[in-house]
Structure 1
């Protein structure tokens, strides 16, 4: 791929993206242009990736690139867009890594540009991200293919309409945290009934979770089918699944209500800040 890529903002997400792109060799290292508020932070990366370009301004990074990843906080997105606006011709593709700012806000500054929004997951670190993406009307099929190739360097790409990105983020981006919280409670309670070390219990659970995922994916099994196979009538597992079916739905319902309400509030605040 001969595209030139800018990464504006080198926090945890920007740094992850930079390293995945370079390590995948999807573009030559010298086709990467990086800008950050704190120059010293990217100077450290330059020591490791000697051929990438360190840019002193966001405008410089955008001017030299075809695809521009904006990896900054919602409160900083408008400032970045205003800074780079003068060098944005219609061919440049802007990628926002923040789900809180809507296309209609970004388009008030960059109304003629191709714009996509991307929400990766922490599992991108091990190339298992379920990365969500949506596009505005100016993004072509060719643009989508190129972006998917970049995002595919750290996992699978799932395209959704913009209005479904919120619940999509709950299912894939927030879910590692939810899963970890649930399994942590299982570890805590299991320790009350055994002398097996905590680390060993944790590894047993993690490997069982991986095995269950593999079983379901490879054999195309539903959750209900797995329950039926393991929770035989009158057996031990059935007693546990009865408790889960009785108690867990209310917890899950409340969890989604709380997170979606928080997401709505975050989006409203981000939009207010953008429009101010």
Structure 2
């Protein structure tokens, strides 16, 4: 399998590294391009054999799968750049959530898909959300998911739920890392415990809680019931959390959805023009 990457920023480089270190791909099976060529050259130094391409066209030409790891505002330029060099049998996979499958199919002559990775894929964990265009066959789906299975659990979703599932899967690590940070910093301020010790304990706790929710078959409600003895310390603290967090996650979801709609509108305007987008 030959794979192309257009864009080697934070997520593009993470995916390349994860595929290589997991054994899913050899460096020689990957070609990559980026607006800043030095970023690709650094990856090639890290993974000898990875091919540095000077143009997006070369990164896409003849590849079985082409990953588009670019920002929403870059799509018109990149799609215009590569469309003439693509063939019907190729599969182009966007990792950018506000870009719709229908838009990719309008602009490209090949098979198209969308996937939403997560930073947890860096350690071969978490989910990768998969959505497929109308030209993608069952065999194509299986081939992509077999590749993704080396670094994650591929989960097929309906495109209409892209944003909320991305909140849970891709944004979730940042949200919960923020809570751990706040928890640890409060522990340091209130008690004087060394931050490194508090972080080690909290990190192990988060890992164990995740295993209870997956391997242990427990629900969030079940964990709370098992830990919080009526009238005890944990129960008292949970009462405080219920007050302080009231409506917080609803506001968080509304915030991400508002930003998603804004970005999706900008993509549509870029690809089709203000008049089409405004209809």
Whether 1:260 and 2:257 are equivalent positions in the alignment is yes
Aligned partner (choices 241, 245, 270) of residue 242 of structure 2: 245
Whether 1:132 and 2:129 are equivalent positions in the alignment is yes
Moved more, 143-152 or 266-275: 266-275
- Deviation (angstroms), 1:28: 4.2
Aligned equivalents of 2:126, 2:113: Cα separation in 1: 17
The 5 Å alignment of 1:211-230 reads: 211-230=208-227
The CA deviation string for residues 227-274 of structure 1, in whole angstroms up to 9 with x for no partner, is 111111121111111222333231111111122112211221222222
SS at match of 1:116: strand
Alignment check: 8 A CA contact 1:96 1:118 kept: yes
Alignment check: 8 A CA contact 1:75 1:274 kept: no
The 5 Å alignment of 1:89-238 reads: 89-110=87-108, 112-238=109-235
- Deviation (angstroms), 1:120: 1.0
Match of 1:14 in 2: 12
Aligned equivalents of 2:33, 2:189: Cα separation in 1: 51
Change (3 A) 1:155 1:192: same
Aligned equivalents of 2:252, 2:229: Cα separation in 1: 30
- Deviation (angstroms), 1:58: 1.4
- Deviation (angstroms), 1:16: 1.6
**Alignment length, in residue pairs?**
273
Aligned equivalents of 1:228, 1:91: Cα separation in 2: 53
- Deviation (angstroms), 1:134: 0.7
> TM-score by structure 2 length?
0.91
Change (3 A) 1:56 1:191: closer
- Deviation (angstroms), 1:184: 2.1
Aligned equivalents of 2:18, 2:209: Cα separation in 1: 28
| Structure 2, unpaired ranges of 5+ | 274-279
Aligned equivalents of 1:188, 1:25: Cα separation in 2: 38
Moved more, 113-122 or 187-196: 187-196
Match of 1:44 in 2: 42
| Structure 1, unpaired ranges of 5+ | none
Alignment check: 8 A CA contact 2:56 2:78 kept: yes
Alignment check: 8 A CA contact 1:78 1:106 kept: no
- Deviation (angstroms), 1:103: 1.5
Alignment check: 8 A CA contact 2:44 2:50 kept: yes
Alignment check: 8 A CA contact 2:91 2:112 kept: yes
Aligned equivalents of 2:39, 2:101: Cα separation in 1: 30
